[in-house]
Amino acid sequence: MKYKFRLAPIAYDGWKFIVGFAFLGFLFLFLGLWFSKLVGALCVLSAVFCVGFFRDPERVVTRTEGLLSPADGTVLEAVSVDGEGFGPGRVIRIFLSVFDGHIQRSPAAGVVKSLTYQPGVFLDARDSRAPFANESNSIEIETEKGRILIKQIAGLIARRIVCWVAVEEAVQPGERIGLIRFGSQVDLYVPPEVEILVREGDKVIGGQTVVAQWPSVRLAQQGEQAETTVPAKG
């Protein structure tokens, strides 16, 4: 499924909620009864909430040789793993509250090699069991430097995962690749040699925060630092 057009800076998938709540809100308010006014006000507030939740503004994507955050949110943890559909590596788990934008973006340029949907339950996204038990969709991307995997994980409220890319499709850094409706979690899996640049509690922004660094980039930076510290001869 390709990313659909936007009407204003709002994801296409959000308009049915916004229009639906707004229509019901004004309908109940028009009735003029005390209880209908209360229901109408709640519906209008829900429409306003959905505008914020499904916001999808254009972003200036950070130019980097590292890996960008795949989502807006808060880092739950960054740990080593062996399995979870990736094998030996490291994972950065990001919690998306209902107040975070819920668009997922590609951390780097590459080609989508596989999509794996896994049915499951809907535990709170902050639950340590959520990455293994909840409904999820994994997007494997082969980059020039190595393989990475983005896992979209539904949460307690989130009941719908949307993926906008297909197998063998090329993606660019910061490109929109999916959406999860309402509170959720997004995990980024990287090879074990990759250096993690974030830690628990850090706020990250999809397509802008650099969350990890390939070893070749780290070695190049160390080499540049060494050159600047070599004393002059003579």
Task: Please identify which residue in the block is written with the tokens 């998938």.
Answer: 13
Do 73 and 204 meet the contact criterion of CB atoms below 8 Å apart?
A: yes
Catalytic residue among 36, 80, 184, 216: 184
Do 137 and 150 meet the contact criterion of CB atoms below 8 Å apart?
A: no
Do 165 and 202 meet the contact criterion of CB atoms below 8 Å apart?
A: no
Residue 102, beta-bridge partner list = none
Residues 6+ apart with CB under 8 A from 209: 62, 68, 69, 198, 203
Residue 184 annotated among the catalytic residues of the structure? yes
Amino acid at 176: R
Active site residues: 184
